[in-house]
Amino acid sequence: MAVYIKEATAISPQNTFGAKVLPEEPATYTDVNMLRCIEPVYRDFIDPMVARRMSRIVKMGVCCALRCLRDSGIEVPDAIIAGTGLGCLEDTEKFLGSIYANEEKLLNPTPFIQSTHNTVAGAVALAIKCHNYNATYTHRGFSFENALEDALLQLAENPGLRMLTGGFDEVTPGSYEITRRMGLWKNHPVSNLSLEQYHTRGSLPGEGVAFFMLGGRKDAGDWAAIRSIQTFYKPASEAEVAQRISNFMADCGLKTGKPDLVIFGKNGDVTGDRYYEYVISGLLKNIPHVSYKHLCGEYDTSASFALWLAALMIKEQRIPSYLEGGKNLPRELNHVLIYNHLRGVNHSLYFLERC
C-alpha cells in the first residue's frame, strides 16, 4: 500500500517556506559554524497574543504546520503527528538556567510549559481546535521516521484519513557548544556548498521543520507516493547496511531492480560518510545519486527535509543543479530511494514513487 503526499511545507536554511517549485538558487553560507532557518513572517499564521510565549522553534513548527494545512485546503486533519530529536531546546535551557540562577525559587513557569516535546503538536491542535489523534515522537535519528510510521499504520487501517505529519529540530548556541565538545562538528568554519569537499571529521549543524499532508488514496495533484519506509539500528558493518538496502528494495517490488535516483544523507564527516561510499561503490553502483545536507545541515530530523526535497523533485520531474554529487542525472524520476543515518546508529530508508 502506498501513502500519498498531498502537500508539503518546509522551513529551512533555504528559501523553502511555501515553495511549490524548487528554488532556482541555493542559499549560500560562507565561513559559518551552523546553518539556521530563514524564518517566515509569523503573524500571517499565528496570533501575536499566542505567539508571545512561543520560542523560535515552536513558532517555526506551528507556522509550518498551519501553512501546510492552509495549502492543502484542510481545516482539521484526522491526526497531528510530530517527530523531534531534541524538542524545544531554547526553553529547556532557559528553565534549567533559571533553576540555578534563582536557587530554585520564584521561577517563571512559561519556559517549563513550553519546553515539553509535544508543545508544537499541541499548539497546532489548539490553533485549529483539532480534537483528533495527537502524538509526538522523539528518538534521535528515528524521530521523524517514527512519526511517519505511525501515520502509515493508521492509513493502512483507514486510507481515507488525512494525517498532518512533520519533523522539527533547532540548534541553539548552548546546544551547539555541547555537541561541538562531543566532537560532532568540524573544528573550522565551513562554506555550506563545499561541505563534502573538506574530507575531515565532523559535520555542519543545521535545523529545520517540514510538515506533510498524507492520505491513503490517490488524488490529482499529489506530489509523490511513499511506497515504504524502514529504520534499522546500529548495523554491525557497511555490509549489513548494503544487505538491508538490498532487502528493502526487493520488498518494495521494484520491477527494474533499481531506483532512478538515490538521495544520500552525506554530511561531510568522513567517519559517517563511509556507509554511503560503501553502497555507492557497490550495491548502488552506476545509479545516479545526490545528497542534501549542504542545504540544511545535520540534525536529528533532517530526513524530513530530504523527503520534502524528493517529493518536490518528483512532482516537478526536475533535479536542481545545486544538489551535490549529481552526475548522469536521469530524465525521469519514477522511483527515488532516500538513505540517511545519524552518527552510524539510526539508519533510515524511504522509497518514493511518482504518482
Partner 1 sequence: MPDSVFVTGVGIISAIGSDVESVWSSLKEGRTGIGPMKLIDSAYKGELPVAEIYASNKELLGTALPRVKNYYSRTALLGMIAARQAIVQSGAGSESLENAGLISANTVGGMDRTEIFYKGFMSDKSSGRIREAAGHDCGDSTEKIADNLGIRGYLSTINTACSSSANAIMLGARMIRQGKLKMAITGGVDCLTKFTINGFNSLMILDREQCRPFDENRNGLNLGEAAAYLVLESAEEVRRQGKRILGEISGYGNACDAYHQTASSPEGHGAFLSMKQALETAGLGPSDISYINTHGTGTKNNDLSEGVAIERLFQDVIPPCSSTKSFTGHTLGAAAAVEAVLSILALQNNCIYPNLNFSVQMHELHFAPVTGFKTVQGMRHIMSNSFGFGGNNSSLIFSKH
Partner 2 sequence: MEQLIAKLKSEIIEVLNLSELSPDEIDENAPLFVEGLGLDSIDALELIVLLEKNYGLKLGTAEEGKKVLRSVRSMAEFIRENNKG
**Residue 117 interacting with partner 1 (CB under 8 A):** yes
Cell digits of residue 191: 562554506
Q: Which of 41, 73, 100, 109 contacts partner 2 by CB under 8 A?
A: 109
**Residue 48 interacting with partner 2 (CB under 8 A):** yes
**Residue 133 interacting with partner 1 (CB under 8 A):** yes
CB nearer to partner 1: pick between 108 and 197 = 108
**Residue 331 interacting with partner 2 (CB under 8 A):** no
176 binds, among partner 1, partner 2, none (CB under 5 to 8 A by kind): none
What is the bridge-based pairing of β-strands 3-11 and 224-233?
A: antiparallel
What torsion do the CA atoms of 108, 113, 115, 116 make, to the nearest 10 degrees? 160
52 binds, among partner 2, partner 1, none (CB under 5 to 8 A by kind): partner 2
Cell digits of residue 242: 548494503
Instruction: Identify whether the C-beta of residue 64 lies closer than 8 Å to the C-beta of residue 168.
Output: yes
DSSP state of 151: H
CA–CA distance, 130 with 92 (Å, rounded to integer): 26
Place of cell 552518527: 343
User: Exposure pattern of 102-134 as b/e (b: 16+ CB <10 Å)?
Assistant: eeeeeeeeebbebbebbbbbbbbbebeebeebb
Cell digits of residue 351: 522509497
Q: Which of 136, 165, 192, 291 contacts partner 1 by CB under 8 A?
A: 136
Region 146-165 residues binding partner 1, contact defined as CB under 8 A: 146, 149-150, 153-154, 156-157
Could you list the residues that contact partner 2 (CB under 8 A)? 48-49, 52-53, 106-110, 113
Could you list the residues that contact partner 1 (CB under 8 A)? 80, 85-87, 93, 95-97, 99-101, 103-105, 107-109, 112-113, 115-119, 121-123, 125-126, 128-140, 142-143, 146, 149-150, 153-154, 156-157, 174, 177-178, 181-182, 231, 233-234, 345
